[in-house]
Structure 1
């Protein structure tokens, strides 16, 4: 795949984290307690305090992030965020829920829809998450970094929307979560769905 690195400095925060530091080429993001992205469904609340470092994601392009899924408190999460509007976004990655790492995605437009699958093999590992934008869809894939990417979700996304995407970290239930991101890349959209 023909990917180019995206500089951490190229992104803009949707909500600034508690702290940000660079360690070599890695980015360390420390979350604010209560940070999250969710709209209405089942819980009845709207949270739009996610820490997402985003840069433009035009049509027919893709982005990837790699992070270490080294967290174990309820709803700790990291991955990638795609946003077109306050009520039109997707987050995908690894969220710790109900005692286990869960690989999944939340698709919002205008209310949230959450799909997850238990993924104990990702605990403490480097994880790569990829979003590919083509036509009227975002395709989400993920894997242990270095392994073959597996399909996580295909979700509707407006073809004509201006969108941005990049690394995401949230800590809905606690202070002190720091997520280590190892890289951020962009390139062409996937050639096919399968």
Structure 2
């Protein structure tokens, strides 16, 4: 597969002429979901689910389908009858040739005063794992962890410990739109230094539109 960074938490996976897009949110490219055969959305927050971006993709391809949790499905099912599928932890499905497993149930705690919402992660082709806004451990070896590197609900020590627990071949930064150009090298250096040569995990980040074979 080829993975293309579409901004913040959004990535595009291409395989055998088919396209899967995860989390076309408000901080990603406006046309991130256009051309998708499958769209996956981890939760309802606007930086992961932007209805306008989703509609652009679903309307551009009348055969495109959405797989997501109930909180998102309930908002768009009427607009796309028969094309929206509700899934949860433990579910598996195949869509447009992509094999997907669903992991996780809850968003990470932002603050005890904020109600905690639902969140699911997606493991695609047993290789690429997008946890959404949580530090969910998929419980099996994976090649590429899409790493939520910065968020109001996380700190650097938790991010590094998450990589260490999952032990992917590579950790690729997502959820990074709020990092300034000054912060990015600092994060790169600290994460790389804490992982060290013995972790076996390569830490990477892609610029907007850049791609990687996964």
Bin for the TM-score computed over the shorter chain = under 0.3
TM-score after normalising by structure 2: 0.24
Structure with the larger RCO, 1 or 2 (CA within 8 Å, 6+ apart): 1
- The answer to which structure has the higher helix fraction is 2
When Rg is computed on C-alpha atoms for both structures, the one with the higher figure is 2
